Each structure stands twice: as C-alpha cells, then as structure tokens.
C-alpha cells in the first residue's frame, strides 16, 4: 500500500499502481486549490515534485534489480490482454513506448527465480506485459546458448524481436500474448526432454524461432473464412493453408531487413536448413493438416 510518512517522503512500500493513484489525486487537488485560490502553497509543489521523482526512480533501470521484482505469481490476468482497435497514430505511439521500455529492460538482470520458472510448463504467462515478454523471449535464446553458438549480433537480435512483436495484430487470440505462450511452452519442453542433447543448435534455434513467428500478422479469421470469403490471402496461396503461408512469408520478410537479419552470419547451408525447417514447422500449424502428420 502507499505510504507517505510525516515528512511527506514516499516509502519503499509504495508501488507503481499506488504512485499513479497518488499522482492523480494530487493533480485533482491542485486543480481544485488553484480554482479556489490565487496561488497554490509551496508545500504542495514540493510534495508533487517528490511524487514525480519517485515515479521516475521506479521506472529507471538503476532501481530495477531484476525483472519480475513486483510480480505476484498467483494473481493471473486481471483484464483482457487485447486492445480495441485504435488509430494508426495511437498504435505507433504504443509501439514506441514498448520499444523504449524493452530497450531499457535489456540492461536489467533477469533473476534466477524467473529464469527457473520460465523453464516450466506451468509458467504463469498472464502477468507479463509486452516489453517484459520481449525480454523473456530474449532470455530463452541466451539460456539455450543460441546467441553465442550461432554468433548472433545482440543489437540486431533486439531489433528482430521488436519487429516480430510489431507484426502481431491486436486481435482476441492470435496476438503477441499467444505468440509468447506458444514459444514459452516450446521452451519448457526443450528443457523438459533436454532437446539440446538430441538436436543440434540450429535445429533448437529453428524450433524456438518458428514458435515465435508461427502466427505473424494473423488477421483474426481462420482459413475456412479466408477461403469462403475469397480473400486476398486465399487467392494468393490458392486456398492452400493461406494463413500459415502468410505467417511464414512475413517471418522471412522481417529477416530480409538489414537491421533485423539475425541470420546474417549463417552460412548458405545453415540458412537453407533453417529456412526449409522453419517453413515445415509453420505450415504444420495448419490444424486441417494435422491428420496427415
């Protein structure tokens, strides 16, 4: 709970939600005081400045000891994780905020506790917001030694992760949260059955990357709808797994961007193996084809 002591100093018990509430109360009070009086007391300005300073500290990298510091693993989801459709300008602003927080989090240490939980199939996916999920995806590649073994440029990798995030739509199910859940389950199974001892590094990399990319730019309507409505995707892919083909095409479109091409140091043979395997993995997510597997 929020705690302002006798000297008006915010205590360490205060969290971000409390600060937001206090800040709103102070803003309302300031408006009321300024309406009823010509001047606002200096003590009020001092308290407002302390709230602003404390808010900045909470959001500053230097005061974050590890990701998940304030997470309650028992809370679950408190509200829907998708958003109503917003304008392109608002969406771009939202993406910018996510990018800035993600870049800030790249300098933060992820705790051993969170890393251990992340390896479990019972990991609570619901409590994490978009920048945190991005940093947890990053941690998966680090803990599987994929970054070091495949000589992936970390700066490029960050840009790739963000671009993948940006290409997930705000739809009720096939959104970035779903992407993270599938990738986390793939990651958990990787540790459960010790896949790195059974597959080579490139194969593990392909499985995790395919899980992350498997629903890119999903419009929210299934293949049956695409085919019956004769949509552009259905026509482009001749009614053959239109969505899965599209997800795969977007994934490789992202890798074509120079600042997002985390495979740039792959040999020609490595990239061919990666591309062939990833196409098979993503196309296999068409549920209509599962009886053929």
Query: What's the length of the chain?
Result: 293
Is 276 annotated as contributing to ligand binding? no
Is 94 annotated as contributing to ligand binding? no
Q: Active-site residues: which are they?
A: 174
Q: Which residue has the tokens 């900045």?
A: 56
Is 45 annotated as contributing to ligand binding? no
- CA neighbor of 158 nearest in space, from 264, 271, 260, 266: 260
Annotated binding site: 178, 214-215
Annotated binding site for Zn(2+): 178, 214-215
């Amino acid at each position: 709970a929020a705690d302002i002591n006798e000297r008006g100093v915010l205590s360490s018990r205060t969290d971000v939600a409390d600060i937001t509430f206090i800040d709103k109360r102070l803003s309302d009070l300031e408006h009321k005081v300024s309406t009823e009086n010509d001047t606002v007391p200096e003590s009020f300005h001092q308290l407002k400045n302390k709230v602003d300073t404390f808010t900045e500290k909470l959001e500053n990298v230097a005061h974050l000891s590890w990701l998940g510091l304030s997470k309650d693993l028992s809370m679950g989801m408190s509200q829907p994780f998708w958003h109503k459709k917003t304008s392109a300008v608002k969406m771009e602003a939202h993406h910018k905020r996510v990018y800035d927080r993600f870049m800030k989090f790249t300098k933060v240490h992820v705790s051993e506790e969170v890393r251990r939980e992340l390896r479990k199939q019972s990991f609570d996916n619901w409590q994490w917001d978009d920048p945190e999920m991005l940093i947890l995806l990053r941690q998966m590649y680090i803990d599987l030694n994929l970054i070091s073994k495949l000589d992936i440029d970390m700066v490029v990798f960050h840009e790739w992760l963000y671009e993948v995030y940006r290409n997930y739509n705000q739809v009720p199910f096939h959104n970035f949260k779903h992407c993270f859940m599938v990738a986390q389950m793939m990651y958990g199974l990787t540790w459960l059955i010790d896949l790195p001892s059974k597959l080579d590094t490139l194969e593990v990399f392909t499985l995790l990357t395919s899980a992350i990319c498997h629903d890119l730019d999903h419009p929210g309507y299934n293949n049956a709808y695409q085919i019956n409505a004769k949509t552009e995707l259905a026509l482009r892919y001749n009614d053959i797994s239109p969505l899965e083909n599209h997800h795969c095409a977007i994934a490789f479109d992202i890798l074509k961007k120079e600042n997002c091409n985390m495979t740039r140091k792959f040999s020609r043979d490595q990239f061919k193996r990666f591309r062939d395997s990833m196409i098979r993995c993503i196309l296999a997510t068409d549920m209509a084809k599962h009886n053929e597997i």
